[in-house]
Amino acid sequence: GKRSSGSESSTGAMPSARQRASAGKKYGQPLYASAWLDDRTACVAGGGGKRSSGIPNRILIARVDDVDGLGEPESWTHTDEDAPQRLARHPGGKYVVCAFGGTLGVFATTRRTDASDDGVTTGVGAGASSSSSSSSGWTIEACHHELGLPARVHVTPDEREVKCAAFDASGARLALGLESGEVKILSWPSMDVEMELGAHEKGAVTDIAWSPDGTGLLTTSAENATTSNIGRGAAVWSLERGERVRTLFDESIVKSRARNVVFRGAAFAPSTNVAWTGLNLDGQGWVVKWDTKTWRVLGKSRMFRNEPISGFAVNAQGTLIAAGSSEGHVKVIDAIKFTPIKYIKGAHMIFVTTMAWNPRGNIILSGSADASGLATRINTRSWTLRLVLWFTVFVLLILGWTSVLLAFFPDPVTSALQDGDYARAAQAVADYFNEANAADDIDDVVSSAMPSLEDVTTDNAL
């Protein structure tokens, strides 16, 4: 999951967090991470850390329905005193890797077909437990034993915090971005460090994305990327060369004279030479589209006028971008045209911490440290499709009227329509009616000039 329906609005003053109530489902713990198991089932995770906080540390599974949105958790697993910070679901579908600060844990998700009716809680080792509130759906539990792993995998000796994680499309490698700015590649399922690519110099890695062919990475970091800090911000990494090959630079930053420039959020299009990053310019949240062949800017769109982006996600189809703000608002735009699609004002009471799209790409899940999760369905029917449908109806109507004209009007009209000469066809129709009117006038004249049958009979009788 990546950090990051209520009422919709695009204008007007935004109320403060204290004046709003979250539109999402409350789960009794701050939410920091999210992922999807299928199109209707989501994982959300977070907690309060130390047991003394009184706030549980859990990974929860909840379903989404059309009426109530994100529902009550149907199963969960406790994670001791480790608060989940990030989730990365393996492409194979079974495993979920969870980052707990500087360590990683591996969990298995299973779709239940039958279970005991009492929702019994079972121990799963490492001091954690798993529970289900229903006899169907999904379960989650620690599975380090079956993979030959320790309960917590240490990425670095001093447990430098993992800030983001993502599997490649094959599921053979897991990319990590650390608080120290380091970028590491782990092998799956051994979780051994396969490659260390280098590091951002002055800030934590905030997001990481694999290129579609699996040969490169795009990362963003919390370092200030102003024009005086060339070499900071978003970076492109080559796995073949094992190093950073480019630092992204938006030339419009020079013109804006921004003093605080922080990239946040990264994603590649699945089948085109396009990538996107989130960008915070002096407290304003923007989305930037890049050409991945030249890494030049293709376009830029402002998402939030007076607040930075705190959550960012692009769906797997590369058609929709979602961003969450520091004030708890969520906005969705078209990924290509940058046209606005949906704005959820006050989606959360405070900043958005996590965002993730379902596999189908039509539901955006957002979470917040206010303990709320929100699943928002997006109507993806485009205006292009609507125009095609309307044009089809128009053509069918034209063909229908043509058939009527061919059936009821004489040969001159038929000949003109077959030749495609619609002006001549229209004139032929007009002539037809003129001739009919003229015939009616002649009949009237004849009728008025001829005596009625009754008059003739009377005259003969006399």
Name the band, by pLDDT with cuts 50, 70 and 90, for residue 122. very low
At 177, the amino acid letter reads G
pLDDT of the residue at 394: 81
Spatial contact of 329 and 344, defined as CB atoms under 8 Å apart: yes
List, for residues 341-362, the tens digit of each pLDDT value: 999 999 999 999 999 999 999 9
For position 249, what pLDDT does the model report? 86
Task: Report the percent of the chain where pLDDT is more than 70.
Answer: 75
165 vs 300: CA distance, rounded Å: 26
Higher pLDDT, 414 or 296: 296
Rounded CA-CA distance 269/273 in Å is 7
Residue 116 in this model has a pLDDT that exceeds 90: no
pLDDT above 80 (res 437): no
Give the residue from 66, 33, 76 showing the smallest Cα distance to 365.
33
Q: What is the pLDDT of residue 364?
A: 98
Q: Are 323 and 331 in contact (CB under 8 A)?
A: yes
CA 161 to CA 202: how far, in whole Å?
Answer: 15
Q: What is the pLDDT of residues 62-108, one digit of tens each?
A: 999 988 889 999 999 999 999 999 999 999 999 999 999 999 999 99
Q: Record the tokens describing residue 296, joined without a space.
A: 């030049």
Phi, psi of 444 (to 5 degrees): -65, -45
- Whether 435 shows a pLDDT value over 70: the answer reads no
Q: How confident is residue 399, by pLDDT bands cut at 50, 70 and 90?
A: confident
pTM of the predicted model as reported, rounded to 2 decimal places? 0.77
When the pLDDT of each residue in the chain is averaged and rounded to a whole number, the result is 84
